[in-house]
Amino acid sequence: MNGFCATCAIALAIIVPTISPPMSPGPDVAAIALRSQKLSTLIQERSELLSSHKVESPHLDCEIIMQHVLGVERSFIIMNHTNQVPRDKELLFWKLTKKRAERYPISQIIGNREFWSKNFIVNQHVLDPRPDSETLISTVLKYYPNKKQRLKIADFGTGTGCLLISVLSEYENAVGIGFEKSLEAYKVAYQNTKKHNLLSRAKIFPSSWTECRGSFDLIISNPPYIKRSKLKDLQAEVQKEPRIALDGGIDGLNCYLSIFLILKKCLKKNGFAILEIGEDQNDIDKIIPSYELAFQEYRILKTLLFFFALTVNPNDGQLDYQLLLQQFQKKPPFFRNHRVK
């Protein structure tokens, strides 16, 4: 996935329980005896550090990191701000807030990110799921209102797998394939597919979308689309994300031209390709007709544009639904030769 909006995070909250007044049993009670600074003091001090490094939401980010370090809900931090933090947890908090001061995204620091009300594993090898990209999911729902429909879906450059997994969660009879040429990103997508119990309906292939075969009702993608000359001007957090997921080439169109060629052979007649594009692709509508594709509509969301293409001369019928579903009952050769941890 791609995009360059400011990094934000919705984390599962976590923290240390108080010892007075008595509460229900909490994590690591014995460790509470090793007391250090108060929660509020630690958060305030590190908020000032983040602020000095021009982090946009220093206090909130410190609270999120503290949740991650201590393991309870954010409400507990607010209600028990005078609690003291065990020394080992304090040291971890300092280490992680130092990374945030170095402008590492919150999601990379805590290892997860929420998208479409689901939690996804995230690391330095994948692009952060962006809230704006949820519009792509809502657009799918608009074009395919029947949630019982048996859709065949492909996700080009799946990254975390958040797009494919989110769409499949809405269509109980759909099956899908995610293509990801980065082996490290592929591992993350596989872990997320397993985490969301979709291995029976989704497969992640460690290959480029150029290896796509068969025909699909729906093809989704958020490919790299930032002009190479603009990469150096991106927000500091975005520059910590994988370049391969950002770099769209000299004009920002490299991936789209590649995808258009694949759409001609892999998108079914009356099927839709829903792709995210950026502000530098405003003239892409002039290119599409030469690939025998047609626009359905533009949707503008802040600096993001979405377009929907319909093939004029598709290659239909090479891969039927039952055959695709059967493929999910057995592991492809790659899974037998490579253990995903």
Residues 137 and 94 in one domain: no
Q: Which residues on neighbouring strands pair with residue 277, listed in sequence order?
A: 305
**From the CB of residue 155, how many other CB atoms can be counted at a distance below 10 Å?**
29
Two tokens, residue 309: 């293409």
Contact 19, 80 (CB under 8 A): no
pLDDT top residue among 84 and 161: 161
Number of structural domains the chain divides into: 2
| Any domain includes 257 | yes
CATH code of the domain in which 173 resides: 3.40.50.150
Given the structure tokens 């395919």, which residue do they identify?
144
Encode pLDDT of 244-284 as tens digits. 999 999 988 899 989 988 988 898 888 888 888 877 777 77
Residue 29 lies in a domain: no
Residues 84 and 119 reside in one and the same domain: no
Residue 26 has pLDDT above 50, yes or no: no
Residue 184 sits in the same domain as residue 298: yes
Residues 220 and 178 in one domain: yes
186 & 210 share domain: yes
Write down the H helix ranges in 106-248. Answer: 106-110, 134-143, 162-170, 183-195
Together in a domain, 192 and 289: yes
Residues 309, 185, single domain; the answer is: yes
Q: In terms of domains, do 72 and 119 share one?
A: no
Give the pLDDT score at 207: 95
Find tokens 């996700």 and name the residue.
Answer: 155
Look up the domain containing 274 and give its range.
Answer: 115-314
pLDDT tens, residue by residue, 39-48:
899 999 999 9
* Residue after which a domain boundary falls, among 80, 102, 124: 102
* 294 and 177 co-located in one domain: yes
* Reported confidence tier of residue 154, pLDDT bands at 50, 70, 90: very high
Q: Specify whether 239 is located in the same domain as 120.
A: yes
Within 13 Å of residue 285, how many CA atoms lie on the same side as its CB? Answer: 11
Residue 31: inside a domain: no
pLDDT band at 34 (very low <50, low <70, confident <90, very high): very low
The answer for 20, left when phi > 0, alpha when psi is -120 to 50, beta otherwise, is beta
From 75, 102, 129, the end of a domain falls on 102
* Residues paired with 185 in a beta bridge: none
DSSP three-state, residue 340: coil
Instruction: For residue range 207-250, list pLDDT tens digits in order.
Output: 999 999 889 999 999 999 999 999 999 999 999 999 999 999 99
Residues 97, 165 share a domain = no
Residue 135 placed within a domain: yes
CATH code: domain of residue 94: 1.10.8.10
